[in-house]
């Protein structure tokens, strides 16, 4: 009997699109995550925190209880995922516990426990925001984005790596040219990295700028040649994204055609 | 006879590419919308408003009359769109009235009526600018853009959602690192959201910047990893746009080929 | 005999890839345009101008003479382009004179003539820079870029138009929210256009920024939703560019295959 | 015997994916390059340099010895690359020495030798950072990026060239409009180039901004029409990248299908 209950709970939690109850549970979890994240963000502002301190405390306690129950339930039902190795359920559960989503679920509750144990650090409060990543479970296009991220990971890392090389070279260049004039900002390559990064990514705060003619000339050279690199990861992602969508559509079309032809 | 007149008016207003008169009417409406929007923008500058107060008043009155007549005419002729349910014209018209374009037409005239009734609020004056959206009716590539927007809406929302997660995480990070040093700007996560948004979208005003070494190091990390996300929606839109154009061209080509083959 | 000379000159000027002499002439013209543009830019700096005044004067005179001769020669040989209407060469030449490239050639020399006639205005000096567009004649990928620009012109204009609507709406929003607080910058919609444009295009100078909480909240909303629009024209261009290149390659491949099959 | 040793060394250095030892050697070289680059960057900060001066000296000496041995070894084994012209090994080696990667290897060690000879210039210290380019040897997607760079080089250069034309025209425009008001920044076209570049690439430091109404109007015009150009190179790169990946996949698929069909 416990097994049918576990199967039912698995359906509710992981295959929510099959049952109305599962749908309601998942929407409720989404709303709770969202409200909890908003309340964590709002509570970090002292004046808001003082006003609604009780609400924030209860909100966090409630969310913690729900997310803890959810975490252990997901571990419990995880063996429904693969029915082959029924004899060693502990191994299956351990294997589930080290999947990225299960780790996010765990990291989302740990900081709150440490907080309740009295370790009130700023960083622990902020770490509760990891809960926001729990939301990625509920969106199909989020899953698509993640797939494309993984597919293009190597290329994107290469593009970011090229960007980092450009930043180091640019920082080194401005250090040579204006190191003596603005020692505080360009007096060493690590100092110049701030300007180089802010410039090559086109953020351009303007808190640090070259002031000499040759420094500006170098800046023009750096900006014109390098400006394309910062947009490259987005371009690769977008392109990979489109080709994945096309691939899926074609796969679907082929499957449909095979099915139609078989029917004749 | 009223019916033939209605049919004729429907052709003029909605199928303007079929008749010269319809073409003239639509161009005139476009010019009026454009002039009206420019005059609303210009009139918000006090010195210009004082100089041409009379002109602006009459311009707005004239536009209001024309757009009101246009709105009711479009409702009147809307039953020509679908001839199936001739017996219940009111339902057809109500259904037309809740289409996006009809709502834009309504929202474009409402603020002016409230203004003429004496409710002179800044926000009412500005709301008249909704008229600018009436222009989208007259452009084919605008229609193409809207189609692609709808097709890619879910993905773009996902990309924007990922961007928002990154903003919250970044704001939280800078709040931990520089919250004590710049309490006015980074003293809470909501305050730090401004810097995080301005940075990750590469706007980079420079009114708020990290000043410590570790703050700048975090800034470099955030900018390099996150900078691609802001450009992602545009990339997805552009890619979706191209594939839609290709699809249309191929659809046209296939239709042409079928027609040619049938001809043989 | 004049006709063979004209044909030869046509080959030299317009089909330069066919003869070594044409190649040398065109490279020389390119170098002259480049040097002339650099000298016009440099001469606008007073200290440089005073030092090399004589050089700049002669350089400009020399370039003017060459470009004038080139202009009239191109008109003279333009009738070689199409040999159908040999009887009315004046019409053919007039038709050539209103092509974009011929107009650029004309506009490139006119300001210098006005300058030599004594009308020394800053704007006339700057207008000589139109010569830089003469360079577009000599590059194949420039021609490719121009083709794609024309193909995608309507879509790009639509994207720019949507961007302009967003700018007007954003300016209107910030005018309502911070118009009273920063009257100098947001006191009217035309004034607020500067901030809205600088923000939505992600330039972000930071000379004008919202300072209130609600102003910043509006800024965050505007930036996140609108930031993709500014990159859209580039995305459309890049996508159109790639599909044009693919189309050309396939056209070439098909032509090759037809040729190979015919050969069998 | 020397030949078999050379062949073995060639396998280790250039075909590292074939042997475990080659793999270990190449990973070690990568780590050394990385550590060396980090130490060069860190050492440029005076306070860090003073603290670990001995470490930095020995690190650089060690890296120099290793990279020198590596350089000469690669030259020695380079004749294994092509076995056709065995009789003139010097020519083969000279031909290898002028390949880009060999030149990078040479330029990566030269500055250190000059430094050890007592020529302690800032620029020599920075030039050692060329070592970072040695890392490109070890990444497959880096090789892919380089291939696409080469394929699209002409188009990207055209896009950069168009961007430069826009910068010159914009600089010229702002010089005419605000040259008298901000002579220090817009008093000549070369001075105005800084603002024009920073604006059109959307960096937007804000250290130089137009202040008059007409100057801002010109700025709006420049930004809206030109803002797409800066992102174009990245778009072209990304598109070229995707089509190259698709091409490779299809090539692989075709090769597979041919192989499968031959097998039947």
Query: Rounded to the nearest 5 degrees, what angle is found at the Cα of D89, between the Cα atoms of D87 and D93?
Result: 160
Query: Rounded to the nearest 5 degrees, what angle is found at the Cα of D110, between the Cα atoms of D107 and D113?
Result: 165
Long-range residue pairs from C45-51, CB within 8 A, at least 24 positions apart, any chain: C45/D187, C45/D188, C45/D189, C45/D190, C45/D191, C46/D187, C46/D188, C48/D190
Q: Which helix (H) or strand (E) holds C127?
A: helix C122-127
User: Rounded to the nearest 5°, which phi and psi values hold at B170?
Assistant: -65, -45
Q: How many CB atoms lie within 10 A of CB A140?
A: 11
The C-alpha R_g of chain C, in whole angstroms, comes to: 26
What does each C-alpha distance from D229 to A151, B1, B232, C104, D155 come to in angstroms? 29, 57, 17, 21, 13
Contact A186, A175 (CB under 8 A): yes
A231, C235: Cβ pair inside 8 Å?
no
Using alpha carbons, select from C93, C81, C96 the residue that is nearest to residue C14.
C81
- Chain A and chain D share a number of CB contacts under 8 A equal to 136
Question: CA-nearest residue of chain D to B232?
Answer: D235
pLDDT surpasses 60 at B1: no
pLDDT at A115: 84
What percent of chain C is predicted at pLDDT more than 70? 92
B225, A160: Cβ pair inside 8 Å?
yes
Taking all residues of chain C, what is their mean pLDDT, rounded to a whole number? Answer: 85
Taking all residues of chain B, what is their mean pLDDT, rounded to a whole number? Answer: 85
Q: How far is CA A13 from the centre of its chain?
A: 22
Which residues of chain A does C203 touch, with a Cβ-Cβ cutoff of 8 Å? Answer: 204
pLDDT at B83: 60
pLDDT at B263: 56
Q: How do residues B62-113 score in pLDDT, each as one tens digit? A: 999 999 999 999 998 888 876 655 667 788 888 889 988 899 999 999 988 8
Q: How do residues D124-152 score in pLDDT, each as one tens digit? A: 888 888 888 888 887 777 777 788 888 88
Question: What is the DSSP secondary structure assignment for residue D85, as one 8-state letter?
Answer: T
Which residues of chain A does C231 touch, with a Cβ-Cβ cutoff of 8 Å? Answer: 231
A255 at interface of B, judged by CB pairs closer than 8 A: no
Query: What distance separates the 2 farthest-apart alpha carbons in chain A?
Result: 81
Question: Tokens 């704001």 belong to which residue?
Answer: B171
Q: Which residues between 39 and 78 in chain B have a beta carbon less than 8 angstroms from any beta carbon of chain D?
A: none
ipTM for this prediction? 0.88
Average pLDDT over residues D248-261: 71
- Contacts (Cβ under 8 Å, ≥6 apart) of C150: none
What percent of chain C is predicted at pLDDT more than 90? 37
B203, C224: Cβ pair inside 8 Å?
no
C205, A206: Cβ pair inside 8 Å?
yes
Q: How do residues A12-58 score in pLDDT, each as one tens digit? A: 888 766 778 888 888 899 999 999 999 999 999 989 999 999 999 89
Which residues of chain D does C246 touch, with a Cβ-Cβ cutoff of 8 Å? Answer: 243
pLDDT at B86: 60
Which residues of chain A does B239 touch, with a Cβ-Cβ cutoff of 8 Å? Answer: 238-239, 241-242
pLDDT at C236: 81
C235 at interface of A, judged by CB pairs closer than 8 A: yes
Rounded-to-integer distance, Cα A182 and Cα A175, Å: 9
* Domains, in order of start, for chain A: 2-138 (1.20.120.350), 143-263 (1.10.287.70)
| DSSP symbols for B67-90 | HHHHHHHHHHHGGGS--TTTT-HH
Q: How do residues C63-113 score in pLDDT, each as one tens digit? A: 999 999 999 999 988 888 766 556 677 888 888 899 888 999 999 999 888
pLDDT at D221: 93
C231 at interface of A, judged by CB pairs closer than 8 A: yes
Taking all residues of chain D, what is their mean pLDDT, rounded to a whole number? Answer: 85
A25 at interface of D, judged by CB pairs closer than 8 A: no
What does each C-alpha distance from C55 to C50, C62, C109 come to in angstroms? 10, 10, 19
Three-state DSSP class for residue C81: coil
pLDDT at D64: 93
A235 at interface of C, judged by CB pairs closer than 8 A: yes
Contact B229, A234 (CB under 8 A): yes
pLDDT band at A7 (very low <50, low <70, confident <90, very high): confident
User: Which range among A181-195, B83-97, C146-160, C216-230 has the greatest average pLDDT?
Assistant: A181-195
**CB nearest to A176's CB, from D41, D123, D231:** D123
C174 at interface of B, judged by CB pairs closer than 8 A: no
Contact A143, A166 (CB under 8 A): no
Rounded-to-integer distance, Cα B138 and Cα B143, Å: 9
Q: How do residues D23-64 score in pLDDT, each as one tens digit? A: 888 889 999 999 999 999 999 998 999 999 999 989 989 999
Which residues of chain D does C230 touch, with a Cβ-Cβ cutoff of 8 Å? Answer: 202, 227-228
C238, A235: Cβ pair inside 8 Å?
yes
Least confident of A90-99, B86-95, C180-189: B86-95
A202, D206: Cβ pair inside 8 Å?
no
- N-to-C CA span, chain A: 45
pLDDT at C17: 67
pLDDT surpasses 70 at A100: yes
pLDDT surpasses 80 at D162: yes
Distance from CA of B46 to the nearest CA of D (A): 15
pLDDT at C208: 94
C205, B205: Cβ pair inside 8 Å?
yes
Q: How do residues D150-161 score in pLDDT, each as one tens digit? A: 888 888 888 888
A222 at interface of D, judged by CB pairs closer than 8 A: no
Q: Which residues between 123 and 162 in chain D have a beta carbon less than 8 angstroms from any beta carbon of chain C?
A: 154-155, 157-159, 161-162
Q: How many CB atoms lie within 10 A of CB B254?
A: 10
Using alpha carbons, select from A139, A125, A152, A149 the residue that is nearest to residue A57.
A125
pLDDT at A85: 55
Q: How far is CA D79 from the centre of its chain?
A: 26
C220 at interface of B, judged by CB pairs closer than 8 A: yes
What are the structure tokens assigned to C234, written together?
Answer: 């580039």
> Chains with ≥3 Cβ pairs under 8 A against A?
B, C, D
């Amino acid at each position: 009997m416990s097994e049918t209950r576990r199967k039912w709970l698995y359906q509710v939690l992981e295959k929510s699109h099959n049952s109305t109850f599962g749908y309601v549970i998942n929407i409720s979890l989404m709303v709770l995550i969202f409200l909890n994240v908003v309340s964590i963000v709002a509570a970090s502002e002292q004046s808001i925190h003082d006003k609604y301190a009780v609400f924030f405390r209860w909100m966090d306690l409630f969310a913690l209880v729900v997310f803890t129950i959810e975490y252990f339930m997901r571990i419990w039902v995880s063996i429904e995922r693969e029915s082959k190795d029924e004899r060693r359920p502990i191994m299956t559960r351990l294997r589930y516990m080290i999947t990225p989503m299960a780790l996010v679920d765990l990291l989302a509750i740990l900081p709150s426990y440490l907080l309740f144990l009295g370790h009130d650090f700023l960083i622990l409060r902020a770490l509760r925001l990891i809960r926001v990543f729990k939301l990625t479970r509920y969106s199909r296009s989020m899953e698509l984005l993640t797939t494309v991220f993984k597919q293009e990971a190597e290329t994107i890392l290469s593009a970011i790596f090229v960007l980092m090389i450009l930043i180091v070279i640019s920082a080194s260049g401005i250090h040579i040219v204006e190191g003596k004039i603005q020692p505080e900002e360009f007096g060493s390559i690590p100092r110049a990295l701030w300007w180089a990064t802010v410039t090559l990514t086109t953020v351009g705060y303007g808190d640090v700028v070259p002031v000499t003619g040759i420094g500006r000339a170098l800046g023009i050279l750096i900006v014109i040649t390098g400006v394309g690199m910062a947009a490259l990861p987005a371009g690769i992602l977008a392109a990979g994204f489109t080709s994945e969508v096309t691939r899926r559509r074609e796969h679907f079309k082929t499957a449909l055609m095979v099915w139609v032809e078989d029917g004749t």
